[in-house]
Amino acid sequence: MNEHGSCDKCAHELLPLAKAQGFETVWDRHESQLPQCGFGLLGVCCRQCWKGPCRINPFGDGPDKGVCGADAHTIVARNLIRGIAAGTAAHSEHGRHIVKTLLELAEGHAPDYAVKDEEKLRKVAALLQIATEGKDINEIAREVATATLEDYASQREAEPCRWLEKTVPAARLAKFVELGVAPHNIDATVTDIMGRTHVGTDADPVNLLLAGVRSSLADYTGMYLGTELSDVLFGTPQPVVTKANLGVLKADAVNIAVHGHNPLLSELVCDAALALNDAAVKAGAKEGINIVGVCCTGNEVLMRRGIPLASNYLSQELAILTGAVDAMVVDVQCIMPSLGGLKDCFHTELITTMSTCKIPGASHVEFHTETAGENARKIVALAIDAYKRRDHSRVNIPQHTTTVVGGFSAEAIIGALSKLDAQDPLKPLLDNIVNGNIQGVALIGGCNTTKVTQDLAHTTIAKELAKKNVLVLATGCAAGALAKAGLLTPEATEEYAGETLKAVLTAVGQAAGLPGPLPMVLHMGSCVDNTRAVAVATALANKIGVDLDKLPVVVSAPECMSEKAMAIGTWAVSLGFPTHLGVMPQILGSSLVTNILTEEIKGITGGYFMVETDPQAAAEQLFACIQQRRRGLGI
């Protein structure tokens, strides 16, 4: 284990065991990569063509241009926006899969799915200005899906994507149009970046960065529609109580871990587990089938079904190291290829399900919408068969769990506030921000990375901000970190929250029928669900008649790692939010790019990036941003 390691108690137990038995983990592989390439860390390595790879010497005593003449500013900008494009492709493909399923359901080709939240479907139809009177649910679903797919296909360049146009304040949309960064077509932004970064095309770093902003807003669009239509298909989350960390695995159950990001299959695996539970008992599993979540698929089923969360991204290998996971079922994104080799050391079935994500050594059960139920039942049957091969003497489940209160969709938050003011649910939140009981709102999201101590920055920043009476929201692996740390509970509110924040959370909790306060951190879902927080912020901005860049709202990605995080961070800044990164981005090789993203962009969008690797200092900076915004509003 490297010097950073993890603050997760389960990791502390299992990593020494892995070392003793010769199992390689993500921390070992990080250590073997040290020292990492300095040119890559600065973003000045270019491999866009085969004349290279080229690199710029950051000390001025070597090459200052690539073979083609591209300088450090061009190379850094091209590398950055290619990452944003990849993140956009990942999120928007997720959204496309959801909307196509909705269309297939409406047309009678997805027999295992149903519209579980008709009210949400009608709400979405109203948002998209689709009339619903006199139409049945399938007809509404078909029209919503068809209109949504236009955001992937429209060739009307003067018209912004509908889901972007309808979900941001008018002043913000006008700014995007003025800057020429409002996407008209999600796919087109990705194609544009790949084309303009081809050798011999765009060399203007400012122009390149504007393309990155446009792509990030397409990412926002794909995320927003993916979240809202997932709610339509599977239900809009409401508060649930469950558990987190590897102690949720059961020694006497068939343990199936669902991992990745797409809820289309995991939801049906949960259904199939209920149907086949008796078969698991007959196979010797006294407690039947136990579904647990990993990463953001875990967050999806936690939010809607109360399925316990076993781990976030960096701990995924540890789940298999317990010897108790009979099947790890993966879909797409943030899945370590190392699982294919690690599972061979145990009885675990690693089951890939998507044509775009295959792993050597894994079993593959191809997921198709029209056969989704059959696919799910086959997966559960494979897990039961694997349980029969389990060596129970090798089972080592760390006995660490925490309670989690999750399920805070935008609707759930507004629903809780409506218990205080049914006619104007946002008024209690707004009043408490104005009077200072709540100083501001912070969204903590993002990934895990071996470059820092796993989960430590997430938990430190959340505690520090809550102590200063900042309302904390969380998504993705950040939510997983805070769940494992026990911060998604009313007890955490009592222990860590500032007095006025505690009073507000208590008042809302009791009005909603709870015995005490709401949890200190509100779990809003997976990384694709970051737009839930934007929905609340936009509602507040529209209510008081200001743009998003005036609100005391900040964003933090303490362990940012993936290309999706690059896209999310960029749209957060584009929407006007100060956005903290806890890991140094690969841009320092260009003073121009660095200055634009941390300083110059303030005057353009109102948002900006700030990099701080010390979580205590980061919390102070985030709070200072909130105070500055409060002064700007005169509160």
As given in the structure block, the two tokens for residue 305 are 């079904």
One domain, residues 308 and 377: yes
Answer yes or no: do 420 and 381 share one domain. no
- Total count of domains within the chain: 4
On the question of pLDDT at 137 being above 80, the answer is: yes
Rounded mean pLDDT of 386-405? 97
The tokens of 439 are what?
């100083």
Q: 390 with 408, same domain?
A: no
**77 and 196 co-located in one domain:** yes
Do residues 413 and 523 lie in contact, with contact meaning Cβ atoms separated by under 8 Å? Answer: no
- The residue out of 394, 419, 447 marking a domain boundary is 394
For position 114, which CATH number holds?
A: 1.20.1270.30
- Segment 600-627, tens digit of pLDDT: 999 999 999 999 999 999 999 999 999 9
Indicate whether 572 and 592 sit together in one domain.
yes
Q: Is the same domain home to 308 and 354? A: yes
| Domain identity same for 543 and 623 | yes
- Ranges of H-type helices in 107-204: 118-127, 137-153, 162-165, 170-179, 186-196
Residue 166 lies in a domain: yes
Asked which of 364, 394, 424 is the last residue of a domain, the reply is 394
Number of helices followed by number of strands (H, E) in the chain: 27, 16
Average pLDDT, stretch 396-419?
97
Residue 4 has pLDDT above 80, yes or no: no
d(CA 225, CA 148): 8
Statement to judge: residues 372 and 460 lie in one domain: no
- The two structure tokens encoding residue 67: 């073979």
Residue 61 pLDDT: 84
Backbone angles phi, psi at 200, to 5 degrees: 80, 20
List pLDDT tens digits, range 75-90: 999 999 999 999 999 9
397 in helix, strand or coil?
coil
* 418, part of any domain: yes
Kindly state whether residue 240 falls inside one of the protein's structural domains: no
Residue 186 lies in a domain: yes
Confidence of residue 2 (pLDDT cuts 50, 70, 90): very low
- Is 65 a member of any domain? no
CATH number, domain with residue 349: 3.40.50.2030
**Which residues 6+ apart lie within 8 Å of 453 measured at CB?**
4, 5, 6, 7
pLDDT band at 1; cut points 50, 70, 90: very low
Both 589 and 559 in one domain: the answer is yes
Residue 102 and residue 208 in one domain? yes
Share of the chain above pLDDT 90, in %: 97
pTM (global) more than 0.85 = yes
Among 207, 234, 261, residue at a domain's last position: 234
Question: What confidence tier does 3 reach under pLDDT thresholds 50, 70, 90?
Answer: low
CA–CA distance, 500 with 470 (Å, rounded to integer): 10
Each residue's pLDDT tens digit, 470-494: 999 999 999 999 999 999 999 999 9
**What range defines the domain where residue 537 resides?**
403-633
Chain mean pLDDT for the chain = 97
Residues 438 and 506 both lie in one domain = yes
3 assigned to some structural domain: no
> What is the C-alpha separation between 289 and 170, in angstroms, rounded?
49
- Inside any domain, residue 501: yes
1 occurs within a structural domain:
no
Examine the pLDDT at 129 and tell me if it is beyond 70. yes
Pairing label, strands 402-406, 240-244? antiparallel
Share of residues in the chain with pLDDT > 70 (%): 100
Same domain membership, residue 217 and residue 195? yes
